[in-house]
Structure 1
Amino acid sequence: MPEHVARIVPLAILTMLRRGEILGLRDRDLDLDAGAVSVFSQCQEGERVATKTRSSRRIVDVGPVAVRLIGEQQDARVDSPEGFLFPSRTGGPFDADNFMARIFTPAARAAGIPELTFHDLRHTGASLMIAAGCHVKVIAEQMGHSDGGGLVLKRYGHLCKGARRQAAEALETHLFGAAGASSVG
């Protein structure tokens, strides 16, 4: 990918933002000291519009790697009077279809994964959060889902193999310390 947008893939995975949400991010949406990204609008057809649902309007917490990548992106981007994090070459908002056709799809082909979609990055982030043991409700909130985690479980539940055993062992460790360290009586 060109340098001025090269960080969009890792940031899309780390934030689980939708394509229009990440393309619509502006400096005023970022609180790097707090490690937070405010998502209240998105780009559609090159215009900034409100997110489609109330639950899509959210604060996404990010870790130190994402904060560093955001700072690097701010330094690498082309001048953007409106402060877009990922501006087009003219400094305005990207049209999502244009971004896909001119930048993302050719980069995916060059990487040997021509079937990759931008939404796959969101799925990757959610899958990795599940693998890291994150609570499903938290994942749903980060993604902007309003169902408390039902969709996350439905879509990614197959990734939770061994989760019941892990939960049982975590309960015992919490109650008794080291595994098998306590007797009942």
Structure 2
Amino acid sequence: MGKRANGEGTVYQRKDGRWVATISLDNGQRKYSYFATQKEAVKAIREAHKLRDQGIILAGKDQTVAFFLETWLQDTAQPRLRPKTYIRYRQYVYRQIIPALGNIKLQQLMPQHLQKLYNGELRKGYSPQTVKHVHRVLHRALHDALRWGLVARNVCDAVDAPRVPRKEMQVLNAEQAKHFLYTAQGDPLEALYVLALTTGMRQGELLGLKWEDLSFETKRLQVKRTIARIGKQGFVVDEPKTVKSRRNISLTDLALESLKRHKVRQHELRLKAGADWMEQGWVFCNQRGKPWETGNLLRRSFKPLLNKAGLPDIRFHDLRHSAATLLLTMDVHPKIVQELLGHSNISMTLDTYSHVLPSLQEQAVTRLNSLFTNTGC
């Protein structure tokens, strides 16, 4: 490949066989990157050319960690991430990473800098889980920096994130789950809780349900979207969390009956609201047809119901865990539970609900004892 226009970059082969990709920086210097093949060098030039307008490559060796992360967040992370995830990334970058590492030159970032950051955050009282998230965000950013030839290695690979102690999962057992649904009878959100405990759907998936997603004839629903309030953006409707999260779910008779009563109740609310009703098709909405605020849901309905039923103060998400645990203890195959929950793979299901496995193993041993009793073995 011959020399290109000024500032576009050049690719050539050295005598030792390596290929070199060069590009001009704004400060008049040249940036050199070395590759094993011509194809890799050409690809690097093309990526650099695309990134010039973003200000990432032009800063060259002189850019700081702060400059790189701020640019990376805006131009690379934001288009890739879900809105809620992007907000968390911004928080970690501006609250933890930049205050500690921002003034360091990107190419001078060392494992010791990261270790000092992690230890400092732990001393401040941040949980190991939070510090591990900081590590993951920084690793993802530096992975891109490595691909773009801005750093020689990803220093996160040389540092271990804090070990996160496994928390004991809080779930409702069969009797508690039945008592909770008994207490919820007649509640405006009774159908929501029935679905949560019989389908294992996530809160955002439940609140994102529309009547068009339900079929009373086939007794099924489709998970097509999630909804959540994201700061000043208001309610944000998004795709399900993963490809596997977009799924069809068979409904129990209990769920179908509660949904039918819920539809009648919603029709009465619509008539009462009159012109103030904002029809958007949500299954679960407030008295004007708008989506439920999750904070209001917890304060006005879920937590009071738990208290009324005399049950532990669990999270709403623990209803999902309860559903999975109940199914596994009833000998439902983990593969079925995985598909119901929308986990990307079965190993995630088995790892998340490993606390159930000992009891399942005991059942297996009991059945093996029964099988081989009086067989002469």
TM-score range, shorter chain: 0.7 to 0.9
Deviation digits for residues 14-51 of structure 1 (CA, Å, limit 9, x no counterpart): 01111111111111011222221111101111343222
Aligned partners of 1:57 and 1:144 also within 8 Å: yes
Residue 114 of structure 1: CA displacement? Answer: 5.7
Which structure carries more helix by proportion? 2
Answer with 93-102 or 119-128: which moved more: 93-102
Higher relative contact order (CA 8 A, sep 6+): 1
Q: Does the 8 Å CA contact 1:47/1:93 hold for their aligned counterparts?
A: no
Asked if structure 1 preserves the Cα contact closer than 8 Å seen for 2:190 and 2:258, the reply is no
Report the CA distance between 1:67 and its aligned residue. 1.6
What are the ranges of 5 or more consecutive residues in structure 1 without an aligned counterpart? 174-178
Partner of residue 257 from structure 2, selected from 59, 63, 68: 68
* 1:112 shift after superposition: 2.7
Which of these residues, 132, 140, 148, is aligned with residue 330 of structure 2?
A: 132
Flag the structure with larger Rg.
2
Q: Deviations over 1:68-100 (max 9, x none)?
A: 222122122333722322111111111222322
Q: Alpha-carbon deviation of 1:133?
A: 0.8
Look up the SS of the partner of 1:115 in the other structure.
Answer: coil
1:160 paired with 2:344, answer: no
Confirm or deny: 8 A CA contact 1:4 1:86 kept in the other structure: no
In the alignment, structure 1 residue 122 sits paired with structure 2 residue 333: no
**TM-aligned CA distance change 1:47 to 1:74, over 3 Å:** farther
1:164 CA displacement: 4.2
Structure 1 vs Structure 2 CA RMSD: 2.8
Distance change >3 Å, CA 92–CA 153, structure 1 → 2:
same
Aligned with residue 57 of structure 1, among 235, 246, 263:
246
Aligned residue identity for 2:220: A
- Structure 1, 152-161 or 23-32: larger mean CA deviation: 152-161
CA distance in 1, matches of 2:334, 2:293: 32
Are 2:259 and 1:43 equivalent residues in the alignment?
no
Cα 1:110/1:34, change in 2 over 3 Å: same
Q: Kindly provide the CA deviation profile for residues 104-135 of structure 1, in whole angstroms up to 9, marking residues without a partner as x.
A: 22332333336221111101100110011111
Unmatched segments (≥5 aa) in structure 2: 1-183, 230-234, 271-277
Query: Using a 3 Å threshold, how does the CA distance of structure 1 residues 50 and 161 change in structure 2: closer, same or farther?
Result: same
Paired amino acid for 1:106: P
For 1:1-185, list aligned pairs within 5 A: 3-45=187-229, 46-77=235-266, 78-79=269-270, 81-113=279-311, 115-148=313-346, 150-164=347-361, 166-167=363-364
Which consecutive segments of 4 or more residues in structure 1 shift more than 4 A? 164-171
Q: Secondary structure at the match of 1:4?
A: coil
Q: Any conservation in 2 of the 1:130–1:136 contact (CA below 8 Å)? A: yes
1:152 CA drift (Å): 2.1
For 1:170 and 1:70, the matched residues in 2 are separated by 39
Change (3 A) 1:146 1:90: same
Q: Distance in 2 between matches of 1:103 and 1:165?
A: 38
What is the letter of the counterpart of residue 322 of structure 2?
T
% identical equivalent positions: 28
TM superposition score normalised by structure 2: 0.42
Q: In 2 relative to 1, CA 161–3 (structure 1 residues): closer, same or farther, beyond 3 Å? A: same
Q: Which moves more between the two structures, 68-77 or 128-137? A: 68-77
